[in-house]
Amino acid sequence: MKDSLAGFQVPPRHRPTLDAVATDSTEGSVAPRSGPAPRPTTDPRTAAQMSRQARKDTTPEMLLRRELHRRGLRYRIEYPLPGMRRRRADSAFTRAKVAVFVDGCFWHACPQHATSPANNGAWWAEKLRRNVERDRETDVHLQQWGWTVIRAWEHEDPCEVAERVAREVRN
């Protein structure tokens, strides 16, 4: 059988590129592909620093978790949200349907501490705006599923946040 395949070549696959175009089915016209703007070039030192940013188990999250645990509350961490792929609650109380998010002041545009990077300002402004928009979409989605959403800023006192969470979980 091996001899019968001699000389046979598999045709190359067609792989669409990022510059692929979408066809409008109503008019048959071709429109450029929409999507996020290309990432701007970044200073290598800045890129290295940003890649080391913690995405989970941050210090504010850990302080809150310790306080919740000290109060006898048990929770799930990095809990996948129902009906939302790729989104997770920092902590979740599944029986009480309470989702807790500890938002970083930079990444979620804190009204008190938000900053705007000087380099690539337009790109960052759009990225941070979209983060806040995604937060609101998540809140609405979870509320529609019967969940209570508690959002805390990283600068908030973990004991005060834990008190808010405990009241909600125990109600």
154 and 138 Cβ atoms separated by less than 8 Å: no
- The three-state secondary structure class of 141 is helix
Q: Where are the domains of the chain?
A: 54-170
How many Å separate Cα 44 from the centre of its chain?
24
Q: Please provide the CATH number assigned to the domain covering 54-170.
A: 3.40.960.10
Per-residue pLDDT of 73-90, as tens digits, reads 999 999 999 889 889 999
Higher pLDDT, 154 or 26: 154
3-state helix, strand and coil shares in percent for the chain, rounded to the nearest 5: 35, 15, 50
The predicted structure's pLDDT at residue 120: 85
| 29 pLDDT more than 70 | no
- The three-state secondary structure class of 26 is coil
- The three-state secondary structure class of 66 is helix
Per-residue pLDDT of 96-142, as tens digits, reads 999 999 999 988 999 998 888 888 889 889 999 999 999 999 999 99
Global pTM value? 0.70
Closest of 65, 97, 92 to residue 171, by C-alpha = 97
